[in-house]
Structure 1
Amino acid sequence: MGATSERRRTWRTEISLQCTLHRRTGKMIEAQTVDVGPGGMRVHTNRPLGVDETLDFELPDHGRINGRARVLREQAYRIYALRFEKLGDEARAEIARLTQPRDRAADL
């Protein structure tokens, strides 16, 4: 089966972050993350995406996290599951930092 039948193998953390998506041609697509993890993220977009489409992405407010992702499926109206296909070490480390469980004792 193709990528659309794959299921997530890593955890994700619910977190809402500004995200921009870029196709090879055309205008930038504004998005907001629904959740993010080491293997991918779900995003809510203002425009439709195609299943199996590859996009460059950026989370501009968080250490300039950027890379390339593939659209796996549309889970709800304009909410898409994306799998990271290209992600640098610094971006991967920043995603791990943003999504790790917080120690409540450290907040006291």
Structure 2
Amino acid sequence: MPSVNININNFQLEVQESPIPVILELWAEGCGSCDTIAQILEEIAVEMKGRIKVAKLDLGKNRELAAQFAVQFVPILAFFKGGIVNDFFVDAPQKSAIVKWVHKTLLTSS
């Protein structure tokens, strides 16, 4: 299951009302680390299908929605469960670190 592109029109349905936890990538055009993380998240979405949803928010195209997150730099991952942010991931774009964060956040947010 590929990631879902998020905008102001589908944020509530796809993220806030999702029956499963959502990892939302906050990214921007021209960000090399964002591209790397996007590839990793696509793999994680397939590996954890049914347990998590992966979504992407292009900050440049969704400024009104992006303002809610007060993002200073990208990429940042936000972990949503029950419609609210439980945790953020700001680290090197390495699959092992992201997978570890996802598993830890799934366990602690249950």
Q: Using CA pairs under 8 Å that are at least 6 residues apart, name the structure with larger relative contact order, 1 or 2.
A: 2
Report which of the two has the higher share of helix.
2
Larger radius of gyration: 1
Report which of the two has the higher share of strand.
1
Using the size of structure 2 for normalisation, the TM-score is 0.30
Using the size of structure 1 for normalisation, the TM-score is 0.31
